[in-house]
């Protein structure tokens, strides 16, 4: 099966700085890569996703990049705000039925 | 729309007891799934269903049973609970073809003593 590794496990940044979270995957057939945000005590929610036919996708302060050759993808958050503090999970899927999640990154944005 | 509703939110069981976690969605989603979330391990897929009458195993299916008799409901059964099944369980649904976004329930925290 697929193996998704996520780094770092914790990330602390100053408000206004950028944050980058990286994931690698093992199954070269994976073709869909979503990112979920989970606030403390809440349910995970999709923030952005990318498919394998695209190298980069942006949505306001959030962007995701994908390198299929190296089998890694990254989440970039610019101009971080305290409300960005949460746990972020990457995931990979080859058929949109089985999703394999990374272990999560706890982002702390200090005011 | 209520979205994805899970019950109960909290449950304490003794080893060997059985129970069912309920999941219902009112979005007419064909796909439903169950995950468990453990500290430092992210979300792991237990079982999923692509439609009524169809279920399949995920990454960690042992010790869990599911069925899908209707589009709306996808219960998760623990036949003989073990301490290793202490976890937070999330149900999630999506409608293939529109978007691959998983809509999660609020979660059910299960403790097995």
CA–chain centroid gap for A88, Å, is 6
Q: How many CB pairs under 8 A join A and B?
A: 54
pLDDT value for A80: 98
Q: In this complex, do B44 and A101 lie within 8 Å of one another by their Cβ atoms?
A: yes
| B106 contact A CB<8A | yes
Q: Which residues of chain B have pLDDT under 70?
A: 98
| B19 contact A CB<8A | no
Q: Give the Cα separation of B54 and A28 in Å (integer).
A: 27
Q: Give the Cα separation of B36 and B58 in Å (integer).
A: 11
| B52 contact A CB<8A | no
Place of tokens 């269903």: B49
Which pLDDT tens digit goes with each residue over A44-93? 999 999 999 989 999 999 999 999 999 999 999 999 999 999 999 999 99
pLDDT value for A31: 95
What string of DSSP letters covers A22-65?
A: EEEES-TT--EEEEEEE-TTS--EEEEEEETT-SEEEETTEEEE
């Amino acid at each position: 099966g697929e193996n998704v590794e996520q780094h770092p496990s914790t990330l602390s940044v100053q408000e206004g700085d950028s944050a980058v979270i990286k994931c690698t995957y093992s199954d070269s057939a994976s073709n869909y890569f979503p990112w979920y945000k989970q606030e403390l005590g809440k349910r995970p929610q999709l923030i952005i996703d990318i498919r394998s036919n695209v190298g980069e996708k942006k949505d306001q302060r959030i962007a995701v990049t994908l390198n299929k050759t190296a089998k890694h993808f990254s989440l970039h958050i610019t101009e971080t705000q305290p409300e960005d503090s949460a746990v972020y999970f990457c995931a990979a899927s080859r058929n949109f039925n089985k999703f394999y999640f990374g272990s999560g990154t706890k982002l702390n944005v200090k005011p | 729309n209520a979205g994805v509703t899970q019950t109960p939110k909290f449950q304490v069981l003794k080893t060997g007891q059985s129970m069912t976690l309920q999941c219902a969605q009112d979005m007419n989603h064909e796909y439903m799934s169950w995950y468990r979330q453990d500290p430092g391990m992210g979300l792991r897929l237990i079982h999923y269903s692509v439609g009524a009458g169809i279920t399949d195993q995920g990454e960690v299916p042992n010790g869990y049973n599911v069925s899908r008799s209707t589009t709306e409901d996808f219960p998760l059964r623990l036949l003989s609970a073990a301490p290793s099944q202490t976890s937070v369980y999330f149900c999630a649904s999506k409608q293939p073809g529109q978007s691959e976004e998983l809509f999660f329930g609020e979660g059910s925290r299960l403790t097995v003593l």
